Chain A
Amino acid sequence: MAVFEKITLSKAINESLRASMEADPKVLVMGEDVGKLGGVFRVTDGLQKDFGEERVIDTPLAESGIVGTAIGMALRGYRPVVEIQFDGFVFPAYDQIVTQLAKMHARALGKVKVPVVIRIPYGGGIGAVEHHSESPEALFAHVAGLKCVSPSNASDAYWMMRQAIESDDPVIYFEPKRRYHDKGRLDTEAIPDPLHKARVAQTGTDLTLAAYGPMVKVCLDAAKVAAEEGKSVEVLDLRTISPIDFDAVQASVERTRRLVIVHEAPVFLGTGSEIAARITERCFYHLEAPVLRVGGFHAPYPPSRLEDEYLPGLDRVLDAVDRALAY
């Protein structure tokens, strides 16, 4: 089947892993509970049954071990796709990711490649307990040698995973877990956009909202409400966090002259900070207002009863839109 009229984002990733494994026998899936259980979010559902325990590997419960052995397998010529069960559990592997995975190609003066994909279900909004709702993407985007992406919809989820697996670089693939069940259209024979390009999700003329992953939907909803109030808001789905498609942001801001960046991660030193700085540099004479950011606070992710206040929602995004338009 080439076209899925309605497929969930999680199923789209599943289809992508399946297609990648069919296309290349070197592609492996590994992580905690990814085999028989199909992952705690069922993203790898059925893969072990079809590809066997040699290619869909239930690992010991040790994140550094998972990433470290994945590096070793990549050095042997495999292309491991690693699942970290939840965002807050990636840190035991942070050392392997930062000191080894990110640097190995450079240390070998380009003579080895480590094509490892690390899947991290991330972000909040699902009423989870501590360590299950975090957005650590800036901690990875800050590291040279890594690439970071985050899809917002089923089609991107499929294609970006296929491209991440085909990439010879390590890619951290942030899965918007609260969008796992959102449905969208997927054509597996379409010609996809390049992995590291942003996409205009909604055109507008008065202001640009830039977001990625779970916040794209919030921004599209905000644009709808703003339109009812007579404001034309453009929504840019960034898709890629390292590298960031600054050219696309610049092109949009040169049209709309105002920029608000939205993400769940804390605003302080976050992706939005970098975009604000770069766009101020590139578009200084185009801007009609300071670049604003909407995101999490400089606080530990709160208990779930408070997460709706912590996470950027429709109202907080619209508030920023109003503030930017008031200049």
Chain B
Amino acid sequence: MTVESTAARKTTRGGGKRATAKKASPAKKKAVAPAPAEAEQDQLVQLLTPEGERVEHPEYSIDLSAEELRGLYRDMVLTRRFDAEATTLQRQGELGLWASLLGQEAAQIGSGRALRDDDYVFPTYREHGVAWCRGVDPTNLLGMFRGVNNGGWDPNSNNFHLYTIVIGSQTLHATGYAMGVQKDGADSAVIAYFGDGASSQGDVAESFTFSAVYNAPVVFFCQNNQWAISEPTEKQTRVPLYQRARGYGFPGVRVDGNDVLACLAVTKAALERARSGEGPTLVEAFTYRMGAHTTSDDPSRYRRDEEREAWEAKDPILRLRTYLLNEGFADQAYLDSVEEESEALGKRVREVVRAMPDPDNMAIFENIYADGHALVDEERAQFAAYQASFVDAEEN
């Protein structure tokens, strides 16, 4: 029953036809609060409709060159290709797990391309598109999913922190980092990614409180992909998530998360706000998790195919491709070249992952402490001696 009504609602909202509607709708003057679906539609920022039609928004605008537009398209296609390759590699036993971003490319590429090099990103474990934008080699993301490390890249090389698996923890790190930026007198901004499920976590609430109280230069980018494993957003909140910001004293905005242009424009504005000392913003990117939560999940147990099909019509890549072709910003030859590039990426990822060696046994004892620890030293020596005893036995 719940699933049915959810599906019915979701097919009616976020469709994009209301993109230019004014915020102050007469409905708000009613004594009774408007139904959620109605209010949400009013607030959805959109610049590119699912049909690939460019629309204007009273508050957010964007003006990109044909090259920049093609770049966004390329980013999304390559990210999706990488993601598909990772899913395949999991199915082949090369990865232990994969958390697919399928469907969320626009939210991630749009927000990721809004960042400056000196900005800092605190991701969840699904921000493969943002990692791409930051220049993190995609194969670096796969180490933890293959089980050869628990992170593995240098966060400071690309200002892209490690993936965080504990839900919502990173929003506090982002806030603290932003407080540090503020103390340094720098004009960088920080962005924290999280999802609709994480919005229920205490750490997320505390990060809202801290960032608001200290006016920290942080953008909270919530990808509301409608599902926290099997639980729909209705199990997390009674109000649209972006509205939560108001209670903390900073603005919240809901953007069409499948519209890369809107995500870029809205994130850029939020980052600019942070830079100029106006404090945090909550961006709710309204999107959809097209795949399973992870490769271990089976969505057929809790959601209907019709819901997914409705969202397929809002595909982020499809709408940008339509726009590029219709406006003459790209031709078929360009699309083909991106396709070719994506196949090459898939091949490279496959090769690198298959060749990725298991870590040395002694890696268990490495990097636990920066300044060393007597117990670790003792256990390392004991374990090394234990292992060496087998070698001796073989030699004898």
Contacts and interface: CB of A to CB of B under 8 A. Distances in A.
A243 B175 contact: no
B130 interface: no
Interface string B176-193: 111111011000000000
B173 A100 contact: yes
Given A107-B151, A168-B370, A169-B369, A96 B203 contact: yes
A64 B209 CA distance: 12
Contact of B169 (A76, A100, A109, A244): A100
Contact of B177 (A67, A73, A144, A242): A73
A59 B207 CA distance: 12
Interface string A61-95: 01011011111111111100000000000001001
Interface of B: 122, 149-156, 161-162, 164, 166, 169, 171-181, 183-184, 202-203, 206-207, 209-210, 213, 366-371, 373-376
A54 interface: yes
Interface in A242-259: 242-247
Given A72-B174, A78-B183, 9 more contacts: A64-B206, A68-B203, A71-B173, A72-B175, A96-B172, A107-B149, A107-B151, A145-B368, A247-B374
Contacts of B154: 108-109, 111-112
A168 B122 CA distance: 22
29 contacts: A60-B213, A62-B209, A62-B210, A64-B203, A65-B172, A65-B209, A68-B169, A68-B172, A68-B203, A69-B173, A69-B207, A71-B172, A72-B175, A72-B180, A73-B177, A75-B155, A76-B177, A76-B180, A78-B180, A106-B367, A109-B152, A109-B366, A110-B370, A111-B153, A169-B373, A196-B374, A244-B374, A244-B375, A246-B374
Contacts of A78: 180, 183
Contacts of B152: 107-109
B373 A243 contact: yes
A95 B168 CA distance: 11
Nearest to B184: A76
Interface string A35-79: 000000000000000000010000110101101111111111110
Describe B's contact surface by its main secondary structure. helix
Contacts of A113: 370
B368 A144 contact: yes
Given A54-B183, A96-B203, A112-B155, A72 B178 contact: yes
Interface string A263-294: 00000000000000000000000000000000
Classify chain A's interface size. Answer: 35 or more
Contact of A245 (B153, B180, B371, B374): B374
Interface of A: 54, 59-60, 62, 64-65, 67-78, 92, 95-96, 99-100, 103-113, 115, 144-145, 147, 167-169, 196, 242-247
Nearest to B172: A68
A77 B180 contact: yes
B169 A72 contact: no
A246 B154 CA distance: 35
B374 A68 contact: no
Rank and list the top 6 A-B pairs by shortest CB-CB distance, nearest first.
A72-B176, A68-B172, A76-B180, A69-B176, A65-B206, A168-B370
Nearest to B190: A72
A169 B210 contact: no
Given A105-B368, A144-B368, A76 B181 contact: yes
Contacts of A242: 373, 375
B176 A73 contact: yes
Contacts of A245: 374
Pick from B166, B171, B174, B370 the residue with the most CB of A within 10 Å: B370
Pick from A65, A75, A92 the residue with the most CB of B within 10 Å: A65
Contacts of A243: 373-376
Pick from B172, B178, B375 the residue with the most CB of A within 10 Å: B172
Given A59-B210, A72-B180, A78-B183, A108 B162 contact: yes
Nearest to A92: B202
A195 to B, nearest CB: 9
Contacts of B209: 60, 62, 65
A75 to B, nearest CB: 6
Contact of A69 (B161, B172, B369, B374): B172
A293 to B, nearest CB: 20
Contacts of A67: 172
